[in-house]
A and B are shown apart, each in its own frame.
Chain A
Amino acid sequence: DVKVTQSSRYLVKRTGEKVFLECVQDMDHENMFWYRQDPGLGLRLIYFSYDVKMKEKGDIPEGYSVSREKKERFSLILESASTNQTSMYLCASSSFTGAYNEQFFGPGTRLTVL
């Protein structure tokens, strides 16, 4: 059974803290993605990576950075957490072949910044 796991289901942090969200996939996928999900806004892409050490900005990269040192692991970093980063964060992976592009999602991390 294919699996994308995220390090925490719930996380509470304080304003200004550095926050790490970890994602691991066991499908040997090339591509990995970080989204945030907010009611009424759907999923918005923060960053994605199509290879180890490669990253590209998505639609809302401000305030975030990412790291991909190994193929199976993709980390999202909030350098200095702010209250407007309170959200649900979803990680996904895919093996994109040029056409069909199914993404597999983790269960999400609900982050609250106080």
Chain B
Amino acid sequence: GEDVEQSLFLSVREGDSSVINCTYTDSSSTYLYWYKQEPGAGLQLLTYIFSNMDMKQDQRLTVLLNKKDKHLSLRIADTQTGDSAIYFCAESIRNDYKLSFGAGTTVTVRA
């Protein structure tokens, strides 16, 4: 079965890098996703990585995947106040409609 875990809180100074970590247990995961939820809003897809990749970079975002350890991370470079949000890690399994979400990491950016 799927079980996605992530730490609940992260505080980071504006301009620093943020690193959010996630572990998953199902080795047959095909895609892994990072969603962002801003205050009072629904979730929005931030980025994703296919399971045969190790790294994906998209502007200030870097996703690292370690399949051996079932570890996923999201690095946000030059963190801004607009990056304050809850970040959810999620995995999908081939031929399954569902996504399995972690509990979400609340990122607070301080001046």
Contact = CB atoms under 8 A, between A and B. Distances in A.
Interface of A: 4, 31, 33, 40-43, 45, 48, 50, 58, 90, 92, 94, 96, 98-108
Interface residues of B, number: 24
B42 A58 contact: no
Nearest to A96: B97
Nearest to A110: B40
Interface of B: 8, 30-31, 33, 35, 40-45, 48, 88, 92, 94-99, 101-104
A4 B42 contact: yes
Contact of B102 (A42, A50, A107): A42
Contact of B98 (A4, A58, A102): A58
A99 B31 contact: yes
A31 B97 contact: yes
Given A31-B97, A41-B103, A102-B48, A107 B41 contact: yes
A104 B43 CA distance: 8
B86 to A, nearest CB: 9
Contacts of B40: 107-108
Given A4-B42, A31-B97, A42-B104, 11 more contacts: A33-B98, A40-B103, A42-B88, A42-B101, A43-B101, A90-B43, A94-B97, A96-B97, A98-B95, A101-B96, A106-B42
B94 to A, nearest CB: 6
A105 B8 CA distance: 21
B104 A101 contact: no
Contact of A101 (B99, B101, B103): B99
Contacts of B48: 100, 102
Given A40-B103, A107-B40, A102 B45 contact: yes
Contact of B30 (A41, A48, A99, A102): A99
A33 B43 CA distance: 13
